[in-house]
């Protein structure tokens, strides 16, 4: 611990709070391309203090189903990639996201100090512009250590995490290849600093149902009501939820005038399997129910989407990394545990690459995804020092 003292002090001296204020003042909702295009170069400039290649990369192409049932190109922001010492003996991946859930027209746009400056309330302060500041401060501290030459790292900060990382998942997978460990800077699972452990997977689907239009009065039996079929599918899916698989039919798009049998509907649904076997069962469930609905309602059914977040159980390598974080926290006088959570993030995708990951290394705070979102200011230094110490201990041991 004494050997790392100067590096940890450097983490505490980083301008994290000023960065959080500056970055959170920019609306960078996942769909706000203007805000994201403002954020990306600011982050590239901030991370240029690190001794590596800093690049902004365009998102991978993709599409989504519109409310009219048409496949439309996804418009996404750029992603930041930093690569430092790729030939070092210990290599890690650090990830974060610059996007927030607050769109350009969302009423939550301002930053407010509370409790004499101990709490910062604002869009993205915890999730996760605070986390990005912590990540950068920790890496700068590592660079101030004599152990820096032993550790190489990739940083990926994407612009689409809050919508499932459709344009950045491939970049994250490439960056994860060959890494000893990974740290992701989502906020802590609880305000006391508790980490998120096991996570379920998550799949988002748009199920397009095509029926047959008819006059609602003259010949309704000649029609095939797509709204009714979508409602039937939604109810069957909801009833199939169980322990290990939550199912949320979220929206039905479609329909038209009251005097017309609707010939098109789109069911939007999210499924969250706890284990890989639950995901396999969920895929079979969707397939079987689609066939049943098509047969019983005489409609055609097509599906768009998939399980973009695989389940993330805690395997032995992941548990060893959690223990390393926990013991590092204890060395700093912090007490940290972990709990399973129902949320998902890029940590799911990293774990699916076979890399152990702790994905809540960011700030302590809470009420994320709401206008009450807040950051506990003192946690910036706490978590930056924790991350720095974890990385330096990885450099010392060369193993998780």
Within a 10 A sphere around the Cβ of 58, how many other Cβ atoms?
10
> In which domain, by residue range, is 211 found?
202-309
CA distance 227 to 233: 10
As a whole number, mean pLDDT of residues 60-89 equals 95
Domain boundary, last residue among 309, 325, 346:
309
Task: Read off the pLDDT of residues 278-315 as tens digits, 9 standing for 90 and up.
Answer: 999 999 999 999 999 999 999 999 999 999 999 999 99
Structure confidence at residue 10 as a pLDDT band (50, 70, 90): confident
Could you tell me if 10 and 127 lie in one domain?
Answer: yes
Task: Read off the pLDDT of residues 190-212 as tens digits, 9 standing for 90 and up.
Answer: 999 999 999 999 999 999 999 99
Domain boundary, last residue among 287, 309, 331:
309
Percent of the chain whose pLDDT exceeds 70? 98
Could you tell me if 305 and 370 lie in one domain?
Answer: no
CA distance 82 to 94: 10
Within a 10 A sphere around the Cβ of 158, how many other Cβ atoms?
27
Structure confidence at residue 98 as a pLDDT band (50, 70, 90): very high
CA distance 183 to 94: 5
Could you tell me if 342 and 362 lie in one domain?
Answer: yes
- 354 φψ region: left (φ > 0), alpha (ψ -120 to 50), beta (else): left
SS3 at position 139: helix
As a whole number, mean pLDDT of residues 343-351 equals 98
Could you tell me if 40 and 182 lie in one domain?
Answer: yes
Residue 342 confidence (pLDDT): 95
Could you tell me if 7 and 130 lie in one domain?
Answer: yes
Which CATH number do you get for residue 264? Answer: 3.30.70.360
Q: Which residues contact 308 (CB under 8 A, 6 or more apart)?
A: 164, 165, 166, 169, 202, 203, 204, 349
Structure confidence at residue 399 as a pLDDT band (50, 70, 90): low
Mean pLDDT of the chain: 97
pTM across the whole model? 0.95
Task: Read off the pLDDT of residues 332-341 as tens digits, 9 standing for 90 and up.
Answer: 999 999 999 9
Instruction: Name the domain count of the chain.
Output: 2
Structure confidence at residue 13 as a pLDDT band (50, 70, 90): confident
As a whole number, mean pLDDT of residues 105-123 equals 97
Structure confidence at residue 11 as a pLDDT band (50, 70, 90): confident
SS3 at position 174: helix
Could you tell me if 181 and 231 lie in one domain?
Answer: no
Q: Is the pLDDT of residue 182 over 80?
A: yes
Give the pair of three-digit tokens for residue 178: 């060959």
SS3 at position 88: coil
In Å, how far from its chain's centre is CA 286? 24
Q: Which residues contact 348 (CB under 8 A, 6 or more apart)?
A: 199, 201, 202, 309, 310, 311, 312
Could you tell me if 8 and 109 lie in one domain?
Answer: yes
Residue 14 confidence (pLDDT): 87
Which of 184, 162, 182 is closest to 369 using CA atoms?
162
Structure confidence at residue 108 as a pLDDT band (50, 70, 90): very high
Which CATH number do you get for residue 104? Answer: 3.40.630.10
Could you tell me if 317 and 182 lie in one domain?
Answer: yes
Domain boundary, last residue among 290, 309, 328:
309
Residue 398 confidence (pLDDT): 63
Residue 190 confidence (pLDDT): 97
Could you tell me if 178 and 325 lie in one domain?
Answer: yes
């Amino acid at each position: 611990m004494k050997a790392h003292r100067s590096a940890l002090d450097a983490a505490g001296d980083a301008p994290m709070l000023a960065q959080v204020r500056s970055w959170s003042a920019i609306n960078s909702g996942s769909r706000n391309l203007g805000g994201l295009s403002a954020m990306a170069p600011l982050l590239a400039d901030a991370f240029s203090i690190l001794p590596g290649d800093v690049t902004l990369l365009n998102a991978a192409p993709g599409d989504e189903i519109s409310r009219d049932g048409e496949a439309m190109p996804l418009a996404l922001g750029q992603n930041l990639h930093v690569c430092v010492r790729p030939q070092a003996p210990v290599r890690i991946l650090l990830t974060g996201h610059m996007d927030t859930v607050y769109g350009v027209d969302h009423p939550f746009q301002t930053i407010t100090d509370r409790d004499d400056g101990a709490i910062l309330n604002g869009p993205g302060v915890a999730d996760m512009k605070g986390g990005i500041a912590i990540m950068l401060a920790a890496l700068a501290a590592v660079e101030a250590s004599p152990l820096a030459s032993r550790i190489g790292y990739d940083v990926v900060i994407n612009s689409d995490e809050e919508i499932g990382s459709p344009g950045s998942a491939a970049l994250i997978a490439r960056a994860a290849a060959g890494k000893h460990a990974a740290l992701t800077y989502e906020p802590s699972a609880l305000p006391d600093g508790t980490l998120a452990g096991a996570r379920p997977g998550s799949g988002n689907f748009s199920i397009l149902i095509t029926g047959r239009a008819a006059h609602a009065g003259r010949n309704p039996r000649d029609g095939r009501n797509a709204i009714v079929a979508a409602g039937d599918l939604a109810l069957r899916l909801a009833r199939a939820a169980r322990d290990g698989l939550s199912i949320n039919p979220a929206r039905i798009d479609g329909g038209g005038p009251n005097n017309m049998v609707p010939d098109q509907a789109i069911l939007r649904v999210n499924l969250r399997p706890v284990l890989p076997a639950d995901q396999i069962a969920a895929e079979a469930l969707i397939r079987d129910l689609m066939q049943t609905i098509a047969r019983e309602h005489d409609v055609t059914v097509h599906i768009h989407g998939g399980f973009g977040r695989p389940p993330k159980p805690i395997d032995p390598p992941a548990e060893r990394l959690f223990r390393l974080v926990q013991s590092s926290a204890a060395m700093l006088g912090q007490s940290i545990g972990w709990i399973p959570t129902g949320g998902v993030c890029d940590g799911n995708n990293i774990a699916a690459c076979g890399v152990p990951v702790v994905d809540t290394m960011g700030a302590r705070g809470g009420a994320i995804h709401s206008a009450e979102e807040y950051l506990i200011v003192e946690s910036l230094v706490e978590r930056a020092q924790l991350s720095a110490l974890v990385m330096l201990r990885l450099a010392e041991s060369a193993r998780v």
